Amino acid sequence: MTHRHVLIAGAGIAGPALAHWLGRHGMRATLVERAPAPREGGQTVDLRGAGRDVAHRMGLERTLRAHATREEGIRFVDAANRTKAAFASGAFGGQGPIADLEILRADLSRILYETTRPHTEYLFGDEITQLSDSGKSVDVTFRNGPNRTFDLVVAADGARSRTRDLIFGDTEIRPVGLTTAYFTIPRRPSDGSWARWYNATRGRTATLRPDNRGTTRASLSYLSEPEPRGDERLAPDAQKKLVRRLFTGAGWEVPRILTAMDTADDFFLDSVVQVRMPSWSQGRVAVVGDAAYCASPLSGMGTSLALAGAYVLAGELAHHAHHGIAFARYEGILRTYVARAQHLPPGVPRIAVPRTRAGIHTLNAVLRAASGPRVAKALNRFLVPPADTFTLPPYGLR
């Protein structure tokens, strides 16, 4: 069981986390990543519930806290930057809109890479172009490197996984009706230590989040329903032009954000989606993380699902000689947890991205009232992701 050699596609979060646990169970991992080095882009992610439990079992919680962004909370503001509602990072037991452990995705990914590099073979600047499952092993064709054979292959390369799509033909990529542009902008003293969320009319939002690198992470989101337009497929320059057209005149600090967007080297625009698959494995190939069950950033559960999924998949492979049994148990253990994470509250994202001034006023009033204990309990479903609904199996470790 422990001599398996597993090829993992994707060096984001789920991939290196899986490599870590495979190594802890005595298995070999090779990880292939299209980028030439660990990716530096990305926004802030949070660690909650099972995800934090996994980080603790990896021995990384102290390191992750040392690299935390240390956001004090989130303020919902109007065009004059007046706070209409606020939630400290300790609200809802530290599991509210801003968790008490927030970290840049790039920092989390890099820490996982550094932790696994001593026992994991990394193939940067390459990707899988063909998979052939013989029943006894998987023959892999790479774009740049020589062909190789592995015992198992796991796709962990994101919601739009190319590796997954080589094998699985029945994946549903479900848009939730929101498109978001992410990028980094220069820090201003006025940015402070709180995240800020601004709603403009016509279903537009802008957020500014301070990071731990002396810069600020910006995002611009807009409703893209009932049918997505495929803006994520446009060239970057065309995407920026579209975002500028949609957000011109939105108010608040949007002019500053748009100006900085023009020169941002980490600009990324994507439609917000969920991934639904009837099965997370086929033969000797499996999927984990966003490639298997992306719950969307709106869920607040992406990192927890990635870390918990990697932990369970490696644990089941270590405890079952037949990969088919291990894959089936991995799926059986996680399905209910994933279903809870993917079940977005009614009206999301429209309820958080109102189209009218009246809708924005109502949202702010409700959020402001949420500071009261009775209202807070009623809004728990909307403001607290279901991170604590999963107990990690107690796999024996080397």
pTM of the model: 0.93
**Interval 115-169: pLDDT, tens:** 999 999 999 999 999 999 999 999 999 999 999 999 999 999 999 999 999 999 8
- Residue 381 above 60 pLDDT? no
**Interval 257-267: pLDDT, tens:** 999 999 999 99
**Interval 269-278: pLDDT, tens:** 999 999 999 9
Q: How many residues does the chain have?
A: 398
In the chain, which ranges are continuous DSSP H helix?
14-24, 49-57, 61-66, 91-94, 105-116, 162-167, 236-247, 254-261, 290-293, 302-319, 323-342, 357-369, 373-378, 380-383
Dihedral Cα 337, 341, 343, 344, nearest 10 deg: 170
Residue written as tokens 């080095």?
37
**Interval 62-90: pLDDT, tens:** 999 999 999 999 999 999 999 999 988 87
Q: What is the mean pLDDT of residues 186-206?
A: 96
Tell me the CA distances in angstroms from 81 to 76, 181, 191, 253, one per residue in order: 9, 21, 11, 8
pLDDT above 90: percentage of residues in the chain: 79
Reply yes or no: is the peptide bond before residue 226 cis, omega within 30 of 0. Answer: yes
- Residue 377 above 70 pLDDT? no
- Which pLDDT value is given to residue 379? 55
CA distance 8 to 147: 15
- Which pLDDT value is given to residue 385? 72
CA distance 88 to 378: 18
- Which pLDDT value is given to residue 389? 81
Closest CA to 325 of 333, 316, 334: 316
Indicate the pLDDT class of residue 97, thresholds 50, 70 and 90: confident
Residues of the chain by 3-state class (helix, strand, coil), percent to 5: 35, 25, 35
Q: Which residues pair with 131 in a beta bridge?
A: 140
- Which pLDDT value is given to residue 372? 61
- Residue 248 above 80 pLDDT? yes
- Which pLDDT value is given to residue 298? 85
Q: What's the mean pLDDT when you consider all of the chain?
A: 92
**Interval 306-352: pLDDT, tens:** 999 999 999 999 999 999 999 999 999 999 999 999 998 878 888 88
- Which pLDDT value is given to residue 2? 57
Residue written as tokens 């709180």?
194
Exposure letters 205-238 (e unless 16+ CB within 10 A, then b): bbbbbbbbeeebbbbbbbbbeeebeebbeeeeee
Indicate the pLDDT class of residue 226, thresholds 50, 70 and 90: low
Indicate the pLDDT class of residue 95, thresholds 50, 70 and 90: low
**Residue 101 burial (CB count, 10 A):** 21
Task: Kindly tell me the burial class for residue 320, based on how many C-beta atoms sit within 10 Å of its own C-beta (0-12, 13-18, 19 or more).
Answer: middle
**Interval 268-304: pLDDT, tens:** 999 999 999 999 999 999 999 999 999 998 888 999 9
- Which pLDDT value is given to residue 46? 86
